[in-house]
Amino acid sequence: MKIDDLSALETSFNQLIETLIIKKKSSEEFTVKLSSERSQFTRFNHAKVRQTGHISDGWIELTLMENQRSSFRQFPFTGNWEIDWQTAYQYLQELREEIGLLPVDPYLVLPTGNNTSREVHSGKLLPIDEVVPAIVQVVTELDFTGIYAGGVVIKGYGDSQGQKHWFATDTFTLDYSLFTPSGQAVKGTFAGSNWDESAYIQKISQDKKQLELLAFSPKELPRGQYKTYFAPAAVADLSMMLSWGAVSEADLQQGNSALAILSRKDKVLSPKFNLKENFKLGLVPRFNAWGEMADPELPIIEKGILVNTLINSRTAKEYQKTANGANSSETLRAPEITPGNLEFAEILPQLDTGLYVSNLHYLNWSDRPNGRITGMTRYACFWVEKGEIIAPIENLRFDESLYRFWGDNLVDFTNFQEFIPEVGTYESRELGGGLVPGMLVEDFTYTL
């Protein structure tokens, strides 16, 4: 997006907040959330273009609060003041009519703070007409599939108390796979704010070396328990399960958390396991749905002990806790698992005989109260014997409890981390990602 367009959007957003403050009754409070993007999406298959397009989208969510009741309306935000204000004013009136009909919400959180922030991260992305040649020309002889997503993403917040936040960032992600004729694949992500052609060429060149390892006939393994090395991308997948009914204080209180056992101290995890929220990388906004700022760092699990859960202001009010800036769903936004002592060169020797798992797929709780997770291996997973990669494996299903693989069976984390970017695009392009090491685990359970 051009700088002029970006500043017009910001001006329009600010004007919306200011006008709502003027229009609101003294008994009313409101919050306004903004999400906007201008994104190019180009999808590849067999190193050719399957779909290519551009999406210009944006929405406002206006929440009105009065007499301990609230309701919201989400509506398009175009940046055209006349249209946007007309829509906003119509919904403001509709909310006023509705709100009196709703039941009292004893845990309603009113905006109270005085936080403001403004972050604009400019990037140097590929121009629209250079994306396809820049990507395809490097991979023409490969079975390359995936998606390039790039452009500006904006998140904004304002409220009736005068809090205001603006976060705009230029980013791209190239999320891709390289396939062998037999269907084995290497997975890669290339992401950032500045397109670096030589780094891209180098990355593909490294992937080609891994492809060579996949050329052997896949080995079919019987179900059983295997010592396993999980590369950082696989660890990131496992850690994201903690956002789904685990680290949330509300989930813990309402019988819906996989960490209830840990919280009750019925079990502990390995002292080598440390998890925290780390916003210092600055890739995601620190403000939440009430304009509150999370601390730059929040330890969650330290040396295997649950030291904090994610608590938003609503949960804090309901359960008499102290809020820590969590978002409305109390999910991880900037997770980091701290490194251990396993050196890169020691991964295969320490694994000795077992599985090298690069990626996982389709994880789900198979028994959430017991922390048991099922899922599949996927992409570049190998059978290792005596410290040497022997062959790629046929995909295996696992079903294992986090209390085992992050507990007694955890051998070590690597002494290096990788940043695994978020590449999701369901509602809009997601930002951020997780900073995680690889890990070595004893007796990981594979079932099919």
Partner 1 sequence: MWSELTKAIAHINVPADWVGIRVVKETSSNRHVRDGLPQANGKYSTMGAMLEVLVNGCLGYAATNSLDLGSLQAAAEIAYKQALVASEWRVYDFRVTERPKVVGEYNSPFLEPLDSLCPGEINDLLVRICQTLKVSDKIVQATASITSSEKESWFVSSNGSEVYQKFLSFGNHYGAIAQDGAIVQQRTNNGSHANCYQGGMELLKRDTLWQQVRQVGEQAVELLTAEECPTIRTNLVLAPDQMMLQIHESVGHPLEIDRILGDERNYAGGSFVSKSDFGNLVYGSPLMNITFDPTVPGEFASYGFDDTGVVATREYLIKEGVLQRGLGSLESQARAGVAGVACARASSWNRPPIDRMANLNLEPGNATFAEIIAEIEHGVYMESNRSWSIDDRRYKFQFGCEYAKLIENGKLTKTLRNPNYRATTPEFWQSLTKVGNASNWQMYGTPFCGKGEPNQAIWVGHGSPVCLFANVEVFGGGS
Q: Which of residues 30-69 bind partner 1 (CB under 8 A)?
A: 39-43, 45-59, 61, 63, 69
Supply the minimum distance, in Å, between the C-beta of residue 267 and partner 1. 8
Query: Please, what is the minimum distance in Å from the beta carbon of residue 254 to partner 1?
Result: 4
Min dist. Cβ of residue 296 to partner 1 (A): 30
Binding to partner 1, residues 198-237 (CB under 8 A): none
Cβ–Cβ under 8 Å, residues 365 and 372? yes
Tell me the two tokens of residue 125: 């992305």
Q: How far is the CB of 250 from partner 1 (least distance, A)?
A: 9
Residue list 257-286, contact with partner 1 (CB under 8 A): 260-261, 264, 266
Q: Which residues make beta-bridge pairs with 397? A: 376
374, 389, 419, 443: which one contacts partner 1 (CB under 8 A)?
374
Within positions 399 to 438, which residues make up the interface with partner 1, using CB under 8 A? 399, 401, 403-404, 424-426, 429
Choose the binding region for partner 1 from 8-16, 76-84, 207-215, 276-284 (rule: CB under 8 A). 76-84
Which residue in the set 24, 73, 121, 321 belongs to the binding site for partner 1 (CB under 8 A)? Answer: 73
Which among 300, 338, 349 is positioned nearest to 415, based on CA atoms? Answer: 338
DSSP assignment string, 161-173: T--EEEEEEEEEE
Which residue in 365, 237, 235, 249 sits closest to 307, CA to CA?
249
Q: How far is the CB of 134 from partner 1 (least distance, A)?
A: 11
Smaller CB separation from partner 1, 285 or 371? 371
Interacting span for partner 1 (CB under 8 A) from 193-201, 297-305, 375-383, 435-443: 375-383
Q: How far is the CB of 343 from partner 1 (least distance, A)?
A: 31
Q: Rule CB under 8 A: which of 348-367 touch partner 1?
A: 361-367
CA 440 to chain CA centroid, nearest Å = 23
Kindly give, in sequence order, each residue whose CB lies less than 8 Å from that of residue 438, ignoring residues fewer than 6 positions away.
Answer: 229, 230, 231, 232, 234, 235, 342, 347, 413, 414, 416, 418
* Number of residues engaging partner 1 in binding (CB under 8 A): 92
Q: What is the 8-class DSSP label of residue 294?
A: P
Q: Using alpha carbons only, how large is the chain's radius of gyration in Å?
A: 24
Start-end of H helices in 63-144: 81-99, 131-136
Q: Which is nearer to partner 1, 346 or 399 (CB)?
A: 399
* Nearest to partner 1 of 177, 417 (CB atom): 177
Rounded to 5 degrees, what are φ and ψ at 37?
-155, 155
CB of 117 vs partner 1, minimal distance in Å = 26
Given the complex with partner 1, which of 70 and 115 has the nearer CB atom?
A: 70
Cα-Cα-Cα-Cα dihedral sign, residues 95, 98, 101, 103? negative
- Residues from 236 through 255 that contact partner 1 (CB under 8 A): 254-255
Enumerate residues 97-156 that contact partner 1 by CB under 8 A: 98, 101-103, 105-107, 128-129, 132-133, 136, 145-147, 149
> Closest Cα partner for 214 from 64, 394, 397, 444?
394
DSSP string, 167-228: EEEEEEEEEEEEE-TTS-EEEEEEEESB--HHHHHHHHHHHHHHHHHTTSPPBPPPSEEEEE
Provide the minimum distance between the beta carbon of 173 and partner 1 in the complex, in angstroms, as a whole number. Answer: 11
Q: Is 412 helix (H, G, I), strand (E, B) or coil?
A: strand
Question: Which of 121/397 has CB closer to partner 1?
Answer: 397
What span, in angstroms and rounded, lies between the C-alpha atoms of 375 and 381? 14
**Taking CB under 8 A as the rule, which mask of x and - marks residues 152-191 in contact with partner 1?**
-----------------------xxx-x---x-x-x----
The reply on whether position 331 binds partner 1 by CB under 8 A is: no
